[in-house]
Amino acid sequence: MHTFHDRRLAAGLLALMAAGGPALPAQAQQATAQAPSQQAPAQPAPKPLYSPEGDATFAQPYVDVDEWRDAPVRHRYVHGGFTGTETRFSFYFPPKEQYQGRFFQHITPVPDSENLAQNKPLTEDSKIASAFEGGAYFVETNGGGKFDLGKGSAMLADPTISAYRANAAAAAYSRVVAQRVYGTAKRPYGYAYGGSGGAFRTIGSFENTTGVWDGVVPYVMGSNMAIPNMFTWRMRAIRVLGPKLDQVVDAAGAGGSGDIYAGLNPLETEVLREATRMGFKPEAWFGWRTMGIHGFAALYQGVVAADPTYFTDFWTKPGYLGHDHPEQFAGARLQHASTVAGVLTAADAARARINIDASREQKRGGVDDAFKIPEGAEGQRIAAFRLGSAPPAVTFLGGDLLVKSGAAAGKRLPLARIVGDVAVLGFADSAVTALIRPGDEVVVDNSNFLAMETYHRHQVPDASYKVWDQFRKADGTPIYPQRPFLIGPMFVQATGGSIQTGKWQGKMIVVESLWDREALPWQADWYRGQVARHLGAAADDHFRLWYTDHALHGDARAQTSEDPTRIVSYVPVLNQALRDVAAWAERGVVPSPSTGYRIEDGQVIVAESARERHGIQPVVTLRVNGGNRVVVKRGDTVRLTGTVAAPPGTGSVVSAAWDLDGSGSFATPAPVPRGKASVSVSLDHRFDTAGTWFVVLKGRSNRLGQRTTPFATIENLARVRVIVE
């Protein structure tokens, strides 16, 4: 999964930022205090593109495993690395009869293990089996060596290794091995793909190399201004609106009033409007209780290190919300002095059923393994401290534990949450936590986290970022004081090797989610603009952008379990995009056009019909008694009518199913004839129980009309509201 819920991935990004990254790119160095939107962005100096050939660092590849395996599917497994480096790779080769002369290479958000794919079962999430069905062998690497938070940033002496060189070297060597395995001298085509931070690395790899990949599929991508600006305002919205976000979701959803601001006071209206104009889809607030702060848990300390004076300026200088309107933080700011009463390990916290995930507030059940007692080093990791007194109850999304006495006096540790009298650590330095003892004086302080809620107001970029127009005066200058530099481009350069320019050779299909809460969908459109500036009229010959409706950020289908009546997975779209970018690069088969959409006040709005929407996701419509809402009596029967339509040239509808009780089981199938690009379905259903019910129709399409494959079968859904009195 490419989200920051994985502790290892989050730790890697924190290590990047803690190091300060490489020298700031020209855009980030711009002083923004005057009128950044009127300054022409400085262009980075052109540099030669990288080729693995002749790179002495990766001149000595080796293989230490070469064997046939049967799981998750039959394949020849080759593992190795490069002498003198920490780079490791895994190659997975299908039987010769399945191989069609290409490879797919997954790029993780930050350097991780080269053995991730082999641990996935044979399901729709299996990258190995999906690659084989697409006629490709599969490549994965550790990106030059996993980041170790405890070791800091020694690996970052040359960030180009983790950004693209390690992956490029492995891709190039995989061709040598493939030619030997299959007994052919023909060069295999190659395609990389990666999501979230992996999208930064995928794009950075494509923009900085030559002759390595013929095409790429970045997905759920961010822009040069994504970090930390995609997390800040949402923390404010969760804190200020809280349960009122439920009525926002209700108003925005099927059969709702459509007025998401109804019933809100002026401050709540301002906060919601700012978040909506930044691009957050109102319906996506359905998960506000559990979505947490996501990647910001890993990014927070890096922002503090990069811009430390902001956190005092916020509370003390005019133009900053903490100084100008301290009343907005009444009852929210926490500065609670106490002592340490006890130390809790990760195993202790699990026994106490305390969530120690720094990124999100998970729903925990009593029958799952969410609180399985961790063993070994993980179990002994210090995860929390019991305090001598419980802090006052506030909406606490994160903060700091300031150590005032003892061996760690003067240190500051990030906190993820407060559970009664327990302060749960975020991504903390284990060397510091080990110094803290019962009796040490501490202060729980969330001042910095509150200050971060409006950090984006002080990071106004150039005019190409339209969602920041709400923070500009009529003459284009910023309303609020600006920080000395833009942090976002620094993160992107540290992760991807360079800021995104839109300059590359080959083919690219971007897969973006319309309900994404971490990589807001307008960012893919921003990158499309970068590509258009580079390629001009030829852009459509090389680039596609496909939006997936009702899809979130995570690339594991399990994320749909958050609410299967609202959410579908974009993984099948990703599967098909890889196959289509390959057909485009190899045989000139033109893929479906980019999704038809427009952007209004930060919101990406797609065309209503499949014929106008394009992309490759089917469009599903649903009506109840002819509308999207109906009020009936108990025992009444309603008429449900729907359609499932695949965009032109993207295959046929292969299934449709009803969810009638809100369980997300879709236990009632709808008959679907074979070979039809558009089908209509209907059902009469009686409601015997009073309440509000949401009926959902889910439809699936497949390019080849296949009904049983777990891969590249693309889904969408639609909902209606039935109120039974």
pLDDT of residue 371: 57
Q: Length of the chain in residues, anyone?
A: 725
HSE (CB half, 13 Å, CA atoms) of 493? 20
What is the C-alpha separation between 318 and 313, in angstroms, rounded?
A: 8
β-pairing verdict for 543-548 and 382-387: unpaired
Partners of residue 599 on adjacent β-strands: 604
HSE (CB half, 13 Å, CA atoms) of 518? 25
User: Which two tokens mark 516?
Assistant: 């994404």
What is the C-alpha separation between 691 and 339, in angstroms, rounded?
A: 49
What is the C-alpha separation between 202 and 508, in angstroms, rounded?
A: 10
Alpha-carbon distances, residue 373 vs 290, 466, 701 (angstroms): 22, 47, 42
Nearest C-alpha neighbor of 164 from the set 113, 198, 188:
198
Contacts of 123 (CB under 8 A, 6+ apart): 557, 710
pLDDT of residue 32: 40
**What single-letter amino acid sits at 358?**
A
Count Cβ neighbours within 10 Å for each residue of 303-340 and write b for 16 or more, e otherwise: bbebbeebbebbbeeeebbbeeeeebbeeebbebebbb
Count Cβ neighbours within 10 Å for each residue of 225-261 and write b for 16 or more, e otherwise: bbbbbbbbbbbbbbbbbeebbebbbbbbbbbbeeebe
User: Which two tokens mark 461?
Assistant: 């970029």
pLDDT of residue 46: 66
First to last CA, the chain: 43
| Contact indicator for 44, 94 with CB cutoff of 8 Å | no
What is the C-alpha separation between 306 and 491, in angstroms, rounded?
A: 11
**What single-letter amino acid sits at 496?**
G
Partners of residue 97 on adjacent β-strands: none
pLDDT of residue 658: 98
Alpha-carbon distances, residue 696 vs 258, 551, 654 (angstroms): 19, 15, 17
DSSP annotation string for 598-609: EEETTEEEE-SS
What is the C-alpha separation between 621 and 74, in angstroms, rounded?
A: 41
Q: Does a cis peptide bond (omega within 30 degrees of 0) precede residue 481? A: no
Nearest C-alpha neighbor of 719 from the set 558, 568, 557:
568
| Contact indicator for 605, 598 with CB cutoff of 8 Å | yes
Average pLDDT per consecutive 10 residues, the chain (725 residues; last block may be shorter): 38 40 38 38 68 95 98 96 97 98 96 92 87 98 74 58 97 98 97 96 97 98 96 96 98 97 98 98 96 88 93 98 97 97 94 86 48 82 96 94 98 95 93 96 97 98 98 97 96 93 97 97 98 96 98 83 93 97 98 98 97 98 98 98 98 98 95 97 97 98 93 97 98
HSE (CB half, 13 Å, CA atoms) of 650? 33
> Torsion-angle region of residue 271: left (phi > 0), alpha (psi -120 to 50) or beta?
alpha
State residue 670 phi and psi, 5-degree precision: -110, 135
What is the tally of helices (H) and strands (E) in the chain? 21, 25
Helical spans, DSSP H, in 404-512: 430-433, 447-452, 488-496
Alpha-carbon distances, residue 521 vs 265, 278, 355, 560 (angstroms): 28, 10, 30, 18
Contacts of 647 (CB under 8 A, 6+ apart): 592, 610, 611, 613, 614, 615, 616, 617, 618, 619
**What single-letter amino acid sits at 253?**
G
Three-state SS at 569: coil
Count Cβ neighbours within 10 Å for each residue of 415-429 and write b for 16 or more, e otherwise: bbbbbeebbbbbbbb
What is the C-alpha separation between 300 and 414, in angstroms, rounded?
A: 8
Cα angle 139, 145, 150 (rounded to 5 degrees) comes to 145
Helical spans, DSSP H, in 141-280: 160, 166-182, 197-208, 232-241, 244-252, 266-277
Burial of 179 from C-beta contacts in 10 A (0-12 / 13-18 / 19+): middle
pLDDT of residue 44: 52
Query: In angstroms, how far is CA 286 from the centroid of its own chain?
Result: 17
Cα angle 637, 638, 641 (rounded to 5 degrees) comes to 145
What is the C-alpha separation between 197 and 209, in angstroms, rounded?
A: 18
Element (H, E) at 13: helix 7-18
What is the C-alpha separation between 216 and 171, in angstroms, rounded?
A: 13
Element (H, E) at 294: none
pLDDT of residue 18: 37
pLDDT of residue 295: 85
Alpha-carbon distances, residue 722 vs 293, 633, 648, 666, 691 (angstroms): 34, 10, 32, 17, 8
pLDDT of residue 45: 59
What is the C-alpha separation between 154 and 147, in angstroms, rounded?
A: 9
| pTM confidence score | 0.92
State residue 691 phi and psi, 5-degree precision: 140, -175
User: Which two tokens mark 387?
Assistant: 């305090």
User: Which two tokens mark 118?
Assistant: 């082999």
What is the C-alpha separation between 460 and 485, in angstroms, rounded?
A: 10
